Structure 1
């Protein structure tokens, strides 16, 4: 592979030598026939992650990539800028939970790479350090995935993970003494549990293995009960295929159990990527009995997104016959959605979330970009708006939902870090929270935000958010980072990012696309980028890039496309369909080989979103969205950086790895194709040092290829 003089003139001597030493990847064709269609896979052998040859390949690719990235000027300065901006936030609080008068929370200082668990009596009381995960075991780096205090605040369940794996080891702690109990329960995804009403134990659903590469790790899982002090090996199965053979539970669905906020009911919920819930309900007192008297709460056909219990009523968020969503009400003890009463009918705005405090229901509504929160008092049947200043994304959290109406709210947008407020729904009063930390970042006042709609390939108008510094010359000379996702109905809502600010203050244009597959325009928008309609997702992304170029925000030689996780489909198919549109592409922990996703540990559960090879129509849709299968020999592809995490439980590293291999052997542009391999990361990590390095690598690579002056080395003259 040759690196063009025009792209990396300053790295001419050193990188041309490295390019000649790019690790070779052999082809070993395997042909599969899917419903009469023959498909060749030259790199199937890379899927054997236990093979020493494959391990050596990833190691060689990672070393090669690091050698190139280490020579890009500006990369280390970008890392330092991330650190400097991080220091401007004196302290970061998160996941604030109240029990009695005690507040528990995660707190991170600028000097710390991850958060610690603290408590204080009252919002302004003396602070006590309860647990430091970085000091948990000498010689290892553990992070705290979750912490769940018991209802009396005397006990705590803490989830711990290593290397970004997300599969946590769960420990129990006595808060007063800060000592751990004897139990150590492994492979609990995210470390989440639901305490029993009497705090004698908790409900949880573990994976079958701590190995993120185990193909059986998350199949046929079981909802279990743990009683404090007992041997986890003997924890009974309460909710599973085996325990509930008539429920139609599939091997790739997670049987999760949790209690209603008031602890009077227990729910059995099938965890899946399908946004339509399948759930049962039973009296809380049935847990621990020989049988649980489950009643069906909702099926997939009910199109329920969420439900909450307030008093004797169950409030249900549903999109059945209402693509923008509606709220209906039914009896909590004997739910019947067929006879439920409509509380909030479908409107022009999309219902994105529903939640509750002790006495109030809260609903978040969105126009596609900007949100508002409304509250409902079941005692008076009155609606009211929550008066949060600002536009963009509106958030709401609850200090102690079952026992309090104390609410934490905030607003954030592309150019506003936001403010945390304590809100009293009884009085409608809003005051700055004691947990708010003032933020003052350079350049924020100079940021311009444009929210536009652009025509896509079929004439559909697609939202596009464009952020840049005042004084931008619309002559195509600016580098632009264009990001997108478009899956699972997840919308690209506005948020403030110090990482983005570091780019904006360098004159980079940022563009957040809102392709079909998200929910910016409701359920119909989601379904228009789903399975057989998935091409709309990357075509909307392409159309967004064309708009930015046509209107002078950037040019094809300056445009960097980025997609993460399921957004790997978006970026992968965008560059294989329109390689001429991009200077560089970042394919981060990406689904790049959709046709083979079901052969990865987390693949079967995602068939509900993307499709299955066992259905002829869905199989062809998977082929169409498979970037790896659309790499063509002799094509001038942009520069591409693929990233994989060796501890990633969501997208196995061979997915981006196979795409990198195919592009390296196919591209004739001379632009580099790199495979970044992270051994200290999973799908993501809280560890700031790892995160700063990881994103600085990606962004420096893209900006180098887009010609940004901060990332171009000086001329090297060889005499």
Structure 2
């Protein structure tokens, strides 16, 4: 390894930040300006340092990229789904980076109509993402959003699917999503605040008019809420949703009356969440009303929607989290989670027929309902995968109980699922709670403490980390790595309480759980501290920041992707995108109790003079979720504070945002950097 290259040292310019009569000194506050050439020069210097220090792994990175790419079927396509007279298909062509969206009228044998070829649309762009494809009910118009910067600000456009012409109107600063009224000429969409990027406004646009004539339909005044609009599955109602972390509210309007006034379904009540589905004269409401932490299902007439009219259909259960419902003409499909795994329950509306569960055999797996847009069908489309089983799309006949695998993800090369073993193991947390881990490894693994081991987790926002299949992960497993997902508190993996016990003033549970999982796999001989690696992104990057401060000796290397590490400064600045909406997750630091608690773990504020593990930190200059300066300032501080000479890299993608590179295969280059970082530390050279 080259040792003669000098790591960049950021200029120290002390900046005082005072709250609650407490002053923090931020030596690198000046990095908070992406327009400043000195900032760009510093990020480029860090990139140059990373490139020089890892130059000896470049060939290996390229080989890894080609290896991972070779497992992916390049000329692939999605399972078609049928909606409103057309089959819709997403497909990829060999050698091309972006999807092609097409449709076929009434039959899969019909002529293909290409709606969007993103390869053509992305020409000349360093980043490209298309989302929110939304076809009018007469099948003539399609609205869509495009982002070419990676700040999740989409320009909304309309295309005539008959002539192929684009409407001259381009609407900027939108979320990319929209919905058509039943008249096929009124388009509703959500716009973002220019500074905070909060989706706060719903507008109405009429085809053939200018943007200046668009009507503001709804403005969400509460800056802790976002708003969006959609048409529910029966197509009878347009729905405006307003949501914060813990509270929701909906407004409804008949789709055939686009110039009417939206009416409130049920006024917001703090910490009451609900969502709505419509079917046959009734609304079905999934809610946590009356302390139903794991949610229950209720019903009301479509013309009497206030909470006083809600009648319970599925009661709250202590051990079962109600995650969602899919409504069909003859069946209700209920997605539940118990003991950390998803179960799908089929319940006929006919009371004379019994409900039943879909059978799943594996010890750890992920199942989920798929694209089910058709009401009048007995076919449920669902997905299934596990740590060693590629994802499948399955059509299940709810009447005959027969299933048809429409597609199993094809893994090119010599892949055989029987060569890999998946397990669910349980670590014991500091407070005695059992924490599940899903792990996978190549057959023949010995528990002698010598296996390289990558432990991944997220642990925030009630987001459950499912045990999923990954073709890229095979490059780790085939070289002797064990891979684990730690289902720590802060997610919803074990029910709603699992989330409640890992946020706000309980957030330390998230970090302690991850550490307990690391200690467990070392104690059980799966690995040792010399071979254990940790990885997390965004809020999972915060997790990485906390564990390296608290228990750096447990890990040989840590990968922190777009890490949220400057918690205090960000959460005290309500002009930064997303801040105010986060108070229900982390706490509002303008209140001293939360300030003190958040300060106890905020990674950048707790960097101390100690030995740190080898670290690879990545970010994107245009990131709208976690601003690039958080990891940049964190690395700058670690550089001068750490007391050993282990690797520390900051790798900034100067053209991307929170999700990284946009091309189908470009993202593999980022994965190959992470893998090469660990392989290098393990002495694995090919």
Q: State which of 568, 580, 583 in structure 1 corresponds to 2:553.
A: 580
Which of 6, 22, 25 is the matching residue for 1:40? Answer: 25
- Partners of 1:477 and 1:300 lie apart in 2 by 54
Q: Which residue of 2 aligns with 1:255?
A: 227
Give the C-alpha shift of residue 437 in structure 1: 5.5
Q: How many matched pairs?
A: 674
How far off its partner does 1:346 sit?
2.7
What is the rounded CA distance, in whole Å, between the counterparts of 1:133 and 1:528 in structure 2? 43
Aligned residue for 1:394, secondary structure, equals strand
Contact 2:341 2:493 in 1 (8 A): no
Deviates more, 1:673-682 or 1:389-398: 389-398
- Alpha-carbon distance, 1:250 to partner: 0.9
C-alpha displacement of 1:710? 2.7
Task: Give 2:581's aligned residue.
Answer: 605
Matched residues in 1 for 2:232 and 2:415: separation? Answer: 44
1:241-287 CA-to-partner distances (Å, cap 9, x unmatched) read 4xxxxxxx313422323233223333221143x14322233444553
Deviates more, 1:324-333 or 1:650-659: 324-333
Contact 2:246–2:270 at 8 Å: present in 1 too? no
Shifted more, 223-232 versus 136-145: the winner is 136-145
Instruction: Give the one of 151, 155, 162 matched to 2:137.
Output: 151
1:314 aligns with 2:298: no
Match of 2:109 in 1: 125
CA distance in structure 2 between the partners assigned to 1:240 and 1:85 by the alignment: 47
Kindly state the Cα deviation for residue 432 of structure 1 after the two structures are TM-superposed.
Answer: 2.6
Q: 1:383 to 1:621 in 2, by over 3 A?
A: farther
1:467 counterpart (431, 440, 443): 440
Shift of 1:402: 5.0
| Equivalent-residue separation in structure 1 for 2:632 and 2:148 (angstroms) | 23
Quick check: 1:419–1:432 contact (8 Å CA) kept in 2?
yes
Counterpart mapping for 1:189-588 below 5 A: 189=175, 191-209=176-194, 216-219=195-198, 221-241=200-220, 249-272=221-244, 274-284=245-255, 287-289=258-260, 292-301=261-270, 303-320=272-289, 321-347=291-317, 348-380=319-351, 382=353, 384-385=355-356, 387=358, 390-391=361-362, 392-401=365-374, 406-433=379-406, 438-439=410-411, 442-588=415-561
SS at match of 2:589: coil
Tell me the distance in 1 between the aligned counterparts of 2:453 and 2:565.
23
CA distance in 1, matches of 2:458, 2:437: 13
Give yes or no for the alignment of 1:83 onto 2:69.
yes
Alignment of 1:165 onto 2:136: no
Q: Residue deviations 1:66-92, cap 9 Å, x none?
A: 2333322632221111111113x7514
Q: Which runs of 4+ in 1 moved over 6 A?
A: none
Cα distance in 2, alignment partners of residues 169 and 70 from structure 1: 39
Aligned CA distance change for structure 1 residues 179 and 543 (closer, same or farther; 3 Å): same
Any conservation in 2 of the 1:350–1:368 contact (CA below 8 Å)?
Answer: no
Q: Is the 8 Å Cα contact of residues 354 and 363 (structure 1) preserved in structure 2? A: yes
Q: Do the aligned partners of residues 138 and 550 (structure 1) sit closer, same or farther apart at CA in structure 2, a change above 3 Å counting?
A: closer
CA distance in 1, matches of 2:539, 2:385: 24
Partner of 1:618: 594
Answer with 501-510 or 341-350: which moved more. 341-350
| CA distance in 2: counterparts of 1:113 and 1:661, whole angstroms | 35
Distance (Å, rounded) in 2 between the aligned partners of 1:219 and 1:124: 41
Give the SS at the match of 2:48: helix
Instruction: Specify the alignment match of 1:593 in structure 2.
Output: 566
- The CA distance in 1 between the partners of 2:115 and 2:298, in whole Å, is 42
1:714 corresponds to: none
Whole-Å separation in 1 of the counterparts to 2:17 and 2:264: 44
Shift of 1:512: 0.4
Of structures 1 and 2, the one scoring higher in RCO (CA 8 A, sep 6+) is 1
Query: What TM-score does the superposition give when structure 2 sets the normalisation length?
Result: 0.93
Structure-2 separation of matches of 1:327 and 1:445: 40
| 2:587 is aligned with 1:631 | no
Give me the whole-angstrom Cα distance separating, in 2, the residues matched to 1:381 and 1:66. Answer: 67
Q: Which stretches in structure 1 are left out of the alignment for 5+ residues?
A: 1-10, 210-215, 242-248, 712-719
TM-score by length of 1: 0.89
Picking from 100, 109, 112, the partner of 2:96 is: 112
Alpha-carbon deviation of 1:299? 2.3
- What SS does the aligned partner of 2:509 have? helix
C-alpha distance in structure 1 between counterparts of 2:132 and 2:254, whole Å? 27
Taking a change above 3 Å as real, the CA distance of residues 349 and 90 of structure 1, as seen in their structure-2 partners, is farther
Does the aligned pair in 2 maintain the 1:563–1:587 contact within 8 Å?
yes
Q: Give the 3 Å change call, closer, same or farther, for CA 293–365 of structure 1 in structure 2.
A: closer
Q: Which moved more, 1:368-377 or 1:541-550?
A: 368-377
Contact preservation (8 Å) 2:75, 2:91: no
Distance (whole Å) between structure 2 residues aligned to residue 123 and residue 420 of structure 1: 20
The alpha-carbon distance between structure 1 residues 368 and 186, as it changes in their structure 2 partners (threshold 3 A), is farther
Alpha-carbon separation, structure 2, partners of 1:654 and 1:310: 48
For each residue in 1:212-248, what CA deviation from the matched residue of structure 2 results, as whole angstroms up to 9, or x when unmatched? xxxx24257311111122212331100004xxxxxxx
Following the alignment from structure 1 to structure 2, what is the Cα–Cα distance between the partners of residues 545 and 343?
Answer: 42
Alpha-carbon distance in 1 for matches of 2:361, 2:187: 40
**Cα pair 1:315 1:328 within 8 Å, conserved:** yes
Deviation for aligned residue 1:639: 1.1
Aligned-pair CA distance for 1:123? 5.8
Aligned to 1:101: 85
Name the CA distance, whole Å, in 1 between partners of 2:629 and 2:359.
45
- Counterpart of 2:40 in 1: which secondary structure? helix
Give the CA RMSD over aligned residues. Answer: 2.4
CA distance in 2, matches of 1:57, 1:233: 42
Q: 1:650 to 1:614 in 2, by over 3 A?
A: same
Pair 1:659–1:58, CA change in 2 (3 A): same
Q: Distance in 1 between matches of 2:352 and 2:241?
A: 29
Q: What is residue 17 of structure 1 aligned with on the other side?
A: 4
